[in-house]
A and B are shown apart, each in its own frame.
Chain A
Amino acid sequence: MDNLKILLAGNNNNVRTTAKYMLQEMGITHIAEAENGQIAKDYFDANSTDINFIISDWNMPHKTGLELLKEIRRTHPDIPFVMSSVHTDKSSIMSAKLSNVTDYLCKPYSFKDLQESITKILKNTPSIR
């Protein structure tokens, strides 16, 4: 967990802060926040060596989570990308999976859901661990 450098994207302050608190509870301290998709993309482009994990909301102004995912996948096909979304329908989940999302969390998710997701991803990504 110590090596995790997370970029947290989402326009809803309360939701984003909740995720930040949850990550801090897990012992993760390197957390960068972006309040929309465009800011997230710009931040990632400027600090891509400083980020090795992305958690993003789906619905965001300027750039949606799905657009962000697609753009990042072009340059970084392997970076873990967790989509958190209120869209629980199959077609939304499917389109995120087609764009190679690493994991998909349906909101509202619990601390346990997030913890399990991150643990599972880290298990499969030895480079971060």
Chain B
Amino acid sequence: MHPKYKHTAMKKDIVIAVIITAAVSYCLIAYDFFDWWYDYTREQEDWELDELLAVFFAILLAGTILSIRHIFTLNKLTKKLQNAHDTIAKKMSVEGHQEKLIAIGELSSGLAHEINNALQPTLGLGEFIKDGLKKSGNEKHLSYMETILDSAAHARQVTENVLAFSYEKETEATQQDAFYVLSRALKFCTNILPSTMTFNVSGLPDEEGMNKGNKATAPVTMNCDQTEISQIFMNVLKNSAAAMNHKGQIDIAFKQTRIPFSLTSAIRMTVTDTGYGMNEQTRARIFEPFFTTKEIDKGTGLGLSTVYSLITKYGGDITVTSEEGKGTIFTLFFPIVTKDDK
């Protein structure tokens, strides 16, 4: 039952109880029940009715206690049902989301294949036309042709992104030193992102502590592909950097913990930016493929959905909290294997 309705039902019960108590008390008082009862029992000494009455009240009391207990048990059961319902609803929405991702992945990879085929003549023969125009000194048509080739190259880039998203480019996961993989991914991204951004990193062991990624001596390992982890970092950090117009500081914190509501050990990574944040409608859709708030041409809308499909493939999770005008916090969970788990 919905909590709101439970509340109204309880109110109704209390009102009914008060009315019954008032009515019964009124009747008993109005008809001098107790006086009558007293006289009656005095007259019939041999019946032992007062003892009988005591037993009757004992039964009433027991009944009341049982009812109260029953109500509490029911309450507990309702709560359990409610929780189960919530879990199922959440699971269904996650599964629905994943099914949607798979369907879109299949659809878009088919489309990407077709476009790649269609691009073959332009990209394969365009260079000859360009060379010919260059030789004949036809500057005007040469610049037209360059625009055509540029645009075809851009289309090629888009299909490549789409295929990367739809798992076309599979990778091989191996067991590796978890912190080493994460720090390499981070280094890769911070080198590529504009130097106007600074990164405040905490929770990573220093270089010596990582044994140069030796998985045998590493305290925690994860089964992953370095490129995919770097891809996850890149897309999240690019998103945060864009929200801050590529200026300012991003806080990145790592901590060994467990995935909430599960027993899986994980490294939690929080990425905090002080960018323009987002409203609830945007927040609800950011992991959707092709959803973008950027201008056409500036983004494909595949970055964060790629992150979502990659991290869920690893059994991890990503959540986001955001406040408009203040910033956004991405929380990522990378499942790990600790020495104790082995």
Contact = CB atoms under 8 A, between A and B. Distances in A.
Interface of A: 12, 14-15, 17-19, 21-22, 25, 59, 86-91, 107-111, 114
Contact of B125 (A12, A21, A59): A21
Closest 10 CB pairs of A and B: A86-B113, A108-B119, A108-B120, A108-B123, A89-B168, A18-B121, A18-B124, A86-B116, A15-B120, A90-B170
Interface string B187-220: 0000000000000000000000000000000000
B121 A15 contact: yes
11 contacts: A18-B120, A21-B125, A25-B128, A90-B171, A90-B172, A91-B170, A107-B119, A108-B117, A108-B122, A111-B124, A111-B128
Contacts of B172: 90
B169 interface: yes
Interface string B160-181: 0001000111111000000000
Interface residues of B, number: 22
B168 A110 contact: no
A90 B171 CA distance: 8
A114 B120 CA distance: 12
Contact residues of A: prevailing secondary structure: helix
Given A15-B117, A107-B116, A107-B117, A89 B170 contact: yes
Interface in B120-148: 120-125, 127-128
A11 B122 CA distance: 18
A17 B125 CA distance: 10
B120 A14 contact: yes
Contacts of A87: 113, 168
Given A88-B163, A89-B170, A108-B119, A22 B124 contact: yes
B156 interface: yes
Contacts of A17: 121
